[in-house]
Structure 1
């Protein structure tokens, strides 16, 4: 079974495309549309989080801070996505390993995912 990637994205089009492409690449995917839905998830922790910044009921950077503050999820890589926040704002907002600005090149995003998962598998600090 492939590694599990957890997507928090409210835009159905972006979420569906990401889910389709990640499934095609052999990953398992769990996707959520709201912060509340994400925080009430019942599955085991994934291998990587892919979080949107602007959500209808909260902010992905706040979710990232929660994940990085929790000992059970602190070492799980996080990629933040936003069409509205700039990289400076995102880097000061949370300790995510990577940031992508929408619209993004899906192949660049896939490379970031592979690189982060390979670093995590190798047991290296990300």
Structure 2
């Protein structure tokens, strides 16, 4: 069972996204801040990370940069998702592997995660 770690400060997005992914047999952990991002990832060992832009503490871009600069974690695919009109530019700046503009269709969420998992193999 693939493990998905979702970072978003919007409780509704966390609830809906995690419910959809769990229905598709993913193991999901949700976090509403990125205060302990490295510790969270090392402990959970996700196969894919979904990272929102607007997060308490250091924010999504900085959190992804920390992940990608860590030799132990840098190969974990990260999906950057945001309602920011510059989502593509921010995803590139952060070093994310994929991006998903908000609002998104639930099928698009599953599709990007499936793509990330398939390319990771």
- C-alpha separation between the residues in 2 aligned to 1:94 and 1:88? 10
Q: Partner residue of 2:58? A: 58
Kept in 1, the 8 Å contact 2:65–2:95? The answer is: yes
Superposition map of 1:26-37 within 5 A: 26-37=25-36
Kept in 2, the 8 Å contact 1:32–1:38? The answer is: no
Q: Partner residue of 1:108? A: 108
**How well do the aligned residues superpose, as a CA RMSD in angstroms?**
1.5
- C-alpha separation between the residues in 1 aligned to 2:104 and 2:67? 24
Which segments of 5 or more consecutive residues in structure 2 lack a partner in the other structure?
none
Q: Partner residue of 2:77? A: 77
Q: How far is 1:40 from its partner?
A: 4.0
Q: How far is 1:112 from its partner?
A: 1.0
Q: Partner residue of 2:68? A: 68
Aligned length: 120
TM-score (norm: length of structure 1): 0.87
Which segments of 5 or more consecutive residues in structure 1 lack a partner in the other structure?
122-126
Kept in 2, the 8 Å contact 1:100–1:109? The answer is: yes
Kept in 1, the 8 Å contact 2:80–2:91? The answer is: no
TM-score (norm: length of structure 2): 0.91
Q: Any idea what SS the aligned residue of 1:34 has?
A: coil
Q: Any idea what SS the aligned residue of 1:15 has?
A: helix
- C-alpha separation between the residues in 2 aligned to 1:82 and 1:98? 12
Q: What stretches of structure 1 move > 3 A for 4+ residues in a row?
A: 37-40
